[in-house]
Amino acid sequence: MSELLFARYAPKTLEPVNSIGAKWERLLDALDLESAVKSRTVCVKMHLGGGTGFTTIHPYFTRVLVRKLREAGAKRVFACDSPGSVLTAVERGYTTETVGCPIVSISGLSDRYVYPRPVNPPFRNFTEVEIGGEVLDAEVLVDFAHVKGHGACGFGGASKNLSMGCVNQKTRGRIHALEGGLNWDESSCTHCGVCEENCPNHAISFDEKGRFDVFYHNCKFCQHCVLICPQKAITMEGGGYRDFQRGMALTTRAVLDNFKPEQRLFINLLTDITIFCDCWGMSTPSLVPDIGILAGRDIVAIEQATLDLIRTEDLIPGSLPPGWELGDKGHLFERIHAKDPYAVIEYLHEFGLGSREYTFREID
Ligand code: SF4
Ligand code: SF4
């Protein structure tokens, strides 16, 4: 059973002292930052978004966190993300001046400053990841994640922030390559186009050489294409999207293995919970009302609690894209993206990264 700190967004009275901004300070005071960061270099891993997407973590929260880390005796503090997001971060309000510390690329601006690490255990041909050198050079890792939906894995939180956010583009590509499960038999295909026309999620296309391509972010594994193909040229194999989540969990483990358990902190912001990942480069309506902030030292517990707090019945009318229909089973994110978001937590738990049982200590 892991204890998590929880600051509820809704204030019990309409006074600044009860607002989420003030509770954020009290939550950080309750985290015992000093034992983790005193005299150490601290990496604050964030997702700084892209394009016109501003519904990421507001710089206010980063600035307070950085100040508290310094007050707790941190030797050096920096925020980081992948090179592309860092280069455009100023467009969305993230600068050294606003957040109070340098903002650096995890792997240098060339994306080549990386350390190879083995995948343990290897999964198919996924045997090695390349992790950002700036992340691994730090002594303390603060996984500061914004929670949102995700087309490829149901949701993005602490695990996605590390697995897709602490590695270079080459490794991200290798994790994405685990997605899917649709096979296409080129020799049977007559290029009639029926599958492309009838995919309800516009996930199928054919490239200039006539090769079948699936955009797995959109694919909901409905098997419509499998059933409708007159040549039986499309088949579906096991794993599917779960293999992507397994790859994420293995990469999360490869990142965390470089930090002692007492030097890992996890903070999930359940605010501006949008349908897609921050890397989509756009902001969309929140799916549910802002919930609050969770923090703790157990990535499995925090991810489990995060999903448990997001309830289908809280879906805000009008928050889904036009024509988007909810499925009828599972978590809200599964009803939206047709991928069980708890799968990644099952894998994180299987790899011994924490407990799915948790208790809350609510910050007043
Ligand atoms: S399984 Fe469904 S969503 Fe995926 S490509 Fe086939 S028809 Fe489209
Ligand atoms: S429906 Fe089958 S035969 Fe037609 S284009 Fe698609 S894969 Fe090829």
Taking the centre of ligand 2 as the mean of its atom positions, its distance from the CA of residue 319, in whole angstroms, is 35
Class of domain 182-236: alpha beta
Residue 238 pLDDT: 57
Q: Do domains 2-176+241-362 and 182-236 have the same CATH topology?
A: no
User: Which residue's CA lies nearest to atom 6 of ligand 1?
Assistant: 225
User: Which residue's CA lies nearest to atom 8 of ligand 2?
Assistant: 189
Taking the centre of ligand 1 as the mean of its atom positions, its distance from the CA of residue 221, in whole angstroms, is 5
pTM, to two decimals: 0.90
What is the architecture, at CATH level 2, of domain 2-176+241-362? 3-Layer(aba) Sandwich (3.40)
Residue 239 pLDDT: 62
pLDDT tens readout for residues 116-147: 999 999 998 899 999 999 999 999 999 999 99
Residue 56 pLDDT: 97
Please give the full DSSP string across 201-221, using - where no structure is assigned: T--EEE-TT--EEE-TTT---
Which helix (H) or strand (E) is 174 found in, with range?
Answer: helix 169-176
Q: Which of 178 and 275 is assigned the larger pLDDT? A: 275
Structure tokens at 176: 């994405």
**Cα gap 68→171, rounded to integer Å:** 33
Is a pLDDT exceeding 90 seen at residue 363? Answer: yes
Could you state, in order of their start, the residue ranges of all structural domains in the chain? 2-176+241-362, 182-236
Residue 185 alpha carbon, nearest atom of ligand 2: 7
Residue 191 alpha carbon, nearest atom of ligand 2: 5
Taking the centre of ligand 2 as the mean of its atom positions, its distance from the CA of residue 212, in whole angstroms, is 9
Residue 177 pLDDT: 80
Residue 198 alpha carbon, nearest atom of ligand 2: 1
| Ligand 1 proximal residues by C-beta, below 6 Å | 199, 201, 203-204, 214, 219-225
Asked if residues 314 and 286 have their Cβ atoms less than 8 Å apart, the reply is no
Is the minimum distance from the CB of 231 to ligand 2 under 6 angstroms? yes
